Chain A
Amino acid sequence: MKPTLGQDSRRSVALFAAPALLLFVLFVALPMLLAAGATLTNHRLMSPEPTRYIGLDNYRRLLALDLVVIEPLRDARGALVRDEEGAGPRYPTWRQVRQQHPQLEGYRAAFHLDAGSSRIVLAASDPLFYRSLINTFLFAALVLPLQCGAALGLALLVNQKIRGRIFFRTVYFAPVVTSMVVASIVWAFMLNTDRGMLNELLRGLLHDPNAGPDWLGDSHYALPAIALMSAWQGAGFQMLVFLAGLQSISPELYEAATLMGANAWQRFVHVTLPGLRNTIIFVLVSTTLLAFGLFTQVDVMTSGGPLDSTSTVVYHAVRSGFKEQDVGYGSTITLVFFLIVLALSVLQRMLVAKGASK
């Protein structure tokens, strides 16, 4: 047999490609397909009862939404009843509302908005899913500018020709190789209200012995605190990617810009940013997807609390699919989430590409 430089023989191609491809099919493609099927059933992880086909019930349970307008309570003369503090009008309880609106059977209030004296309530059959979805978006919106901005800043710094830059590059990268569990535990200590160093620092700076919030115990601060910690842990990775992008920009472009009288800021806007276009797309997309996977920090630091303010979609999926063993429902959350992630990354790619072509 003569060796040829044309097509390689099928057998040898199969020998090389098959092991990894089989593993991908078995552990990525097959689970996703099974999950798509499981969303139509009440399959449970360990259950003596046979799995039943239930149609789109899981999707209905997950996504069902309704809006109700609730009028405030009035006394016999028609005047508004004030709540205990006398601040706002009092509204009927959710139980009373449900009796008036039979279609709300199985729904609970997720959010409400006060318009005039009446209150508009968004009711869902799984309010925790919507809460988790909004938390996940909120987290991404917090962590994206923080982490990508920090990464670009660090990359610009360690790209300077200065002694010690390799050392600092290593220092900024060190948190990336630290596991998220360890990072979460150490930060849980540092974020402690009374003794944590973050609040000690704030008290020192503000000369106020009572300064500093209850970071992980206050529903307004818990998610931002987790975002801060996550950006600290992850920025070093994006820094490396930006650094490579910076080093691929031809130095001649900078020389030309300098000759034309451009100052440092103009060089950054007109040479650096356009040169980093592909890198920026990659970093934005990958950081967004990482942010959407938020689970470990929440599990270690807050368990989804306080008041569900740090519950995320993945946390909710694990709670349903694993802790409550409801694989059908957990798979439904996962699949809907996967579609959202996919749509978002396509959208983001399109937006960034459009912005860059202007």
Chain B
Amino acid sequence: MNRLSPNRGARRLLRDAALLLAMSALGIVFVAPLLFMVISSLKSDAAIFANLNSWSAYLPSSDWSLRNYSAVFEKSELPAFLLNSSLIAAPIVVGGVLVNSMLAFSIARMRWRGRQPVLALVVAMVIVPFEVIAIPLLSLVARLPWPGIEHGQLVMHTGWFNSLHVQVIPFLANAFCVFLFYQFFRDIPPELDEAAKMDGAGPWTIYARIIMPNSGPVIATAAIVLFISAWNQYLWPIMVIQGQAFRPVQPGIQQFFGRTNSWGQIMAYASVITLPVLAVFLLFQRQFVASVAGSGVKG
């Protein structure tokens, strides 16, 4: 062993250097478009185009400024759209964590006939892309009733178009989140709630006092999954929202993209709507990576 070690050490160093080189090269490929987006948002259009054919496209120019940001906040509807997206994402995250964890709890921790078929259906639904049900869902929500008050009287409107709730309610139940919660709950040792059951605790107490407080990582993951998919919705809002009042950020940037010629402002808009998601991800990434990665293997 000892005899070999200097040679081995050198080979190991070489291997690590090669690996690091490969990882960095790929890292540049993956980060360059995002870096370009953020850097360009700080430049004037003239500077963006002057820098394009060199490394300076990815470096801030000396006269960087926040002018593009103040322009999009002042002249576009971005602030209103940011508010809409927040008002859509917040109830989806809170309500989604609640209903999906409750269904998962009933499958993983309660005994009833039919839970196996329900689990199989949930697993099957995980891989059905939303695009497949978009048009059928569109014609359904066109016919659904929604209560409103006119002249002090309760009236039923038909159709959910142009509202916040049409962008929230269909997305509360999420098969992938049910599955994440199910996997996590299943692996919590049964002793934890059996003792409580002996003491006469009902399922609600077990859920709220024992299971959920011990499920921090999976709650964080489900919240991130729900937040990202709510924040990044595009196909659904372009179909159900006309006019600006309830428009969220992704159709917002697409509209802005079509109306303006200033790439600096487009990149500023893109950065504003991307950075919150990146920040949330970076904050919770350890839990997130662990449970998302687990979902594919055991499934």
A-side interface residues toward B, CB under 8 Å?
3, 5-8, 10, 12-13, 15-17, 19-21, 23-24, 27-28, 30-32, 34-35, 38, 43, 45-46, 154, 157-158, 160, 162, 164-165, 168-175, 177-183, 185-187, 189-190, 195-197, 200, 204, 232, 236-237, 240-241, 243-245, 248, 278-279, 282-283, 285-286, 289-290, 292-293, 295-296, 299-300, 314, 317-318, 321-322, 327, 330-331, 333-334, 337-338, 341, 345
Q: Are B112 and A13 in contact, with the CB atoms below 8 A?
A: yes
Majority secondary structure, A binding face: helix
CB A202 to nearest CB in B, in angstroms, measures: 11
Which chain B residues in 249-293 approach chain A with CB under 8 Å?
250-251, 253-254, 257, 263, 266-267, 270, 273-274, 277-278, 281-282, 285, 289, 292-293
Residues of A contacting B57 in the complex (Cβ-Cβ under 8 angstroms): 197
CB A126 to nearest CB in B, in angstroms, measures: 16
The answer, yes or no, to whether B83 is at the interface (CB within 8 Å) is no
Q: Are B31 and A31 in contact, with the CB atoms below 8 A?
A: no
Residues of B contacting A285 in the complex (Cβ-Cβ under 8 angstroms): 127
A5 contact from B27, B112, B194, B204, Cβ within 8 A: B194
Q: Are B135 and A185 in contact, with the CB atoms below 8 A?
A: no
Segment touching A, from B2-10, B67-75, B232-240: B232-240
Beyond A17-B102, A318-B135, A331-B135, whether A177 also contacts B178 by CB under 8 A is no
CB B57 to nearest CB in A, in angstroms, measures: 6
Cβ-closest 3 pairs across A and B: A244-B293, A35-B136, A293-B129
Residues of A contacting B203 in the complex (Cβ-Cβ under 8 angstroms): 8, 12, 15-16
The answer, yes or no, to whether B53 is at the interface (CB within 8 Å) is yes
Complexed CA–CA distance, A123 and B113 (Å): 53
Instruction: Identify which of B132, B140, B251 gathers the most chain A CB atoms within 10 Å of its CB.
Output: B132
CB A289 to nearest CB in B, in angstroms, measures: 5
CB A349 to nearest CB in B, in angstroms, measures: 11
B-side interface residues toward A, CB under 8 Å?
16, 19-20, 22-24, 26-27, 29-34, 36-37, 49, 52-53, 57, 98-100, 102-103, 105-107, 110-113, 118, 121, 125, 127-140, 142, 169-170, 172-173, 175, 178, 194, 197-198, 200-204, 207, 228, 231-232, 234-235, 238-239, 250-251, 253-254, 257, 263, 266-267, 270, 273-274, 277-278, 281-282, 285, 289, 292-297, 299
Residues of B contacting A200 in the complex (Cβ-Cβ under 8 angstroms): 52-53
CB A147 to nearest CB in B, in angstroms, measures: 13
Q: Are A178 and B133 in contact, with the CB atoms below 8 A?
A: no
Complexed CA–CA distance, A190 and B37 (Å): 10
Complexed CA–CA distance, A285 and B105 (Å): 27
Residues of B contacting A16 in the complex (Cβ-Cβ under 8 angstroms): 102-103, 105-106, 110, 203, 207
Residues of A contacting B30 in the complex (Cβ-Cβ under 8 angstroms): 171-172, 174-175, 232, 236
Q: Are A186 and B33 in contact, with the CB atoms below 8 A?
A: yes
Complexed CA–CA distance, A327 and B270 (Å): 33
Complexed CA–CA distance, A283 and B27 (Å): 22
Residues of A contacting B139 in the complex (Cβ-Cβ under 8 angstroms): 31, 34-35, 38, 43, 45, 321, 327, 331
CB A32 to nearest CB in B, in angstroms, measures: 6
Beyond A21-B103, A174-B34, whether A31 also contacts B296 by CB under 8 A is no
Q: Are A182 and B207 in contact, with the CB atoms below 8 A?
A: no
Nearest B residue (CB) for A20: B103
Given A23-B173, A300-B254, 18 extra CB contacts under 8 A: A7-B113, A16-B105, A16-B110, A20-B102, A20-B172, A34-B139, A34-B140, A45-B139, A162-B20, A168-B24, A174-B31, A181-B232, A204-B53, A282-B297, A295-B235, A334-B133, A334-B136, A345-B127
Beyond A32-B133, A195-B52, whether A164 also contacts B299 by CB under 8 A is no
Instruction: Identify which of A179, A187, A240, A283 gathers the most chain B CB atoms within 10 Å of its CB.
Output: A179
